[in-house]
Amino acid sequence: MKKNAILALLIAVTATAFGNDSTRVKKSPAAHINEDDVTITLPQGFKTTVVTNGLGKARHLVVAANGDIFVKLEKLKDGHGIIQLHDANGDGKADKTTGFGNYRGTGITIKNGYLYASSDHEVFRYKIDEKTAKVDTGSVQRIVYGLVGKNQHETKPMVLDNDGNLYVNIGAPSNDCQVQDRVKGSPGQDPCPILDSAGGIWQFKADKANQSYADGVHYAKGLRNVMGLDWNQQVNQLYVMQHGRDQLYQFFPDLFDQKAGAENPAEEMFRLKKGDDCGWPYCYYDNDKHEKLLCPEYGGNRQKVDRCADKTHSIVQFPGHLAPDALLFYTGNQFPEKYKNGAFIAFHGSWNRAPEPQEGFYVVFVPFKDGMPSGKWEVFADGFSGVKAAGSTGRAKHRPCGIAQGPDGSLYVSDDVEGTIWKISYNK
């Protein structure tokens, strides 16, 4: 006992001595921002600034007209599900961090004087003064409720058009609508009952409180899960990124070897119009055959097209399992001309490519002209994972999840591992 007391005293002395060491640098308010955590690689002329970090599961984000950033969290931080970041001195770093909203979720956007935010079942909105980014939290209105949000693909990302409509993704709580989800050998349900209330995009009125399925329009179906969606202002249409199904190699090794299972199916971008059916769970896009084909759970053999012939086709295809979590059409003037109206996509990074190395964890750019891709996609911002080739997804230090555009044309990227927010800007 006496020995313990002496040890405790020694520790106290040691700690005090260090604490009083005046040569150590005092922490400035922004010193918690660890800039050297990872190095983000970008094309010539672009640079990143770490706006903040440590927000935790930072999902989608939006920037108000004054430059304040609103981030939606999937795990509450200090009891808050929405974080507001304010940069007082214009150095790109957040000087003031506040929060409100006591629910978890992913979706957040601003339109016509309202901030919209979603839980995994509902959509809320708040009055916001866009010039000062002052949110009237007391004005909260529930716009949509009662949406399917089970234990898979439960997040509700959303976007608004210019005609007072809100588009909400309702992801399918399933991999490919098998009788027994994710069980090898279990057949696909035909027709798939999930499609009645999930696996698609629903349209609601942006300004009407308490809507649910009966008030909405089943805008597009056959989309397994959509995290990235944006309204293209040039052609006035909705574009979405679908997360393709998993486990082709694990369930159908006779059709897909290890490599083919990692590369398939494609992660796809769709240009949607009302009534479109993109084919899930019956169809997938085969990256080796360059064709939309019938899924093996529904009798497919990597050759049969069958009922997939008349489904809506995607306009861009990416390698399998990269997990496109955000889509943004760039309308700013800061970046060089080639980026104007093009698409930025945040890829969260794969898990179902194992035992092949994981892939993704980057932001991609796709050039566009008149609403259609005008060139090949390229990696725009990379290095978020902080590891050369991640064998295991959990090793990634950061995973891009959201993209937003600031009023000066800068891009912002969120990460839901540590909750880091980066600003990407261009200087000639």
Report if residue 19 touches another protein, rule: CB under 8 A.
no
Residue with tokens 């672009």: 46
Q: Work out which of 73, 269, 354, 421 binds another protein, going by CB under 8 A.
A: 354
Report if residue 372 touches another protein, rule: CB under 8 A.
no
Q: What CA–CA distance (Å, rounded) separates 375 from 243?
A: 22
Report if residue 20 touches another protein, rule: CB under 8 A.
no
Report if residue 397 touches another protein, rule: CB under 8 A.
no
Residue 14 or 137: the one with the smaller Cβ distance to another protein is 14
Q: Binding segment for another protein among 188-196, 243-251, 287-295, 324-332 (CB under 8 A)?
A: 243-251
Report if residue 53 touches another protein, rule: CB under 8 A.
no
Report if residue 189 touches another protein, rule: CB under 8 A.
no
Query: 3-state SS of the chain?
Result: CHHHHHHHHHHHHHHHHHHCCCCCCCCCCCCCCCCCCCCCECCCCEEEEEEECCCCCEEEEEECCCCCEEEEEEEEECCEEEEEEECCCCCCCCCEEEEECCCCCCCEEEECCEEEEECCCCEEEEEEECCCCEEEEEEEEEEECCCCCCCCCCCCCEEECCCCEEEEEECCCCCCCECCCCCCCCCECCCCHHHHCCCEEEEEECCCCCECHHHCEEEEECCCCEEEEEEECCCCEEEEEECCCCCHHHHCCCCCCHHHHHHCCCEEEEEECCCEECCCCCEEEECCCCEEEECHHHCCCCCCCHHHHHCCCCCEEECCCCCEEEEEECCCCCCCHHHCCCEEEEECCCCCCCCCCCCCCCEEEECEECCEECCCCEEEEECCCCCCCCCCHHHCCCCEEEEEECCCCCEEEEECCCCCEEEEEECC
Report if residue 38 touches another protein, rule: CB under 8 A.
no
The count of residues interacting with another protein (CB under 8 A) is: 36
Q: Work out which of 25, 89, 394, 427 binds another protein, going by CB under 8 A.
A: 394
Report if residue 314 touches another protein, rule: CB under 8 A.
no
Report if residue 57 touches another protein, rule: CB under 8 A.
yes
Residue 118 or 165: the one with the smaller Cβ distance to another protein is 118
Q: Binding segment for another protein among 6-14, 93-101, 125-133, 196-204 (CB under 8 A)?
A: 6-14
Taking the alpha carbons at both ends of the chain, their separation in whole angstroms is 68
Q: Work out which of 100, 103, 145, 351 binds another protein, going by CB under 8 A.
A: 351
Report if residue 352 touches another protein, rule: CB under 8 A.
yes
**Closest to 267 in 3D by CA, of 242, 231, 292:** 242
Q: Work out which of 86, 182, 205, 311 binds another protein, going by CB under 8 A.
A: 182
Q: How far is the CB of 263 from another protein (least distance, A)?
A: 15
Residue 125 or 348: the one with the smaller Cβ distance to another protein is 348
Q: Work out which of 355, 370, 388, 428 binds another protein, going by CB under 8 A.
A: 355
Q: Work out which of 154, 176, 230, 263 binds another protein, going by CB under 8 A.
A: 154
Q: Work out which of 184, 208, 273, 338 binds another protein, going by CB under 8 A.
A: 184
**Closest to 174 in 3D by CA, of 183, 166, 182, 163:** 182
Report if residue 180 touches another protein, rule: CB under 8 A.
yes
Q: How far is the CB of 53 from another protein (least distance, A)?
A: 16
Map the footprint of another protein across residues 65-104, applying CB under 8 A: 74-75
Residue 17 or 25: the one with the smaller Cβ distance to another protein is 17
Q: Work out which of 49, 203, 250, 331 binds another protein, going by CB under 8 A.
A: 250
Residues that bind another protein (CB under 8 A): 3, 7, 10-11, 13-14, 17-18, 23, 57, 74-75, 150-152, 154, 180-184, 247, 249-250, 351-352, 354-355, 391-395, 399, 416-417
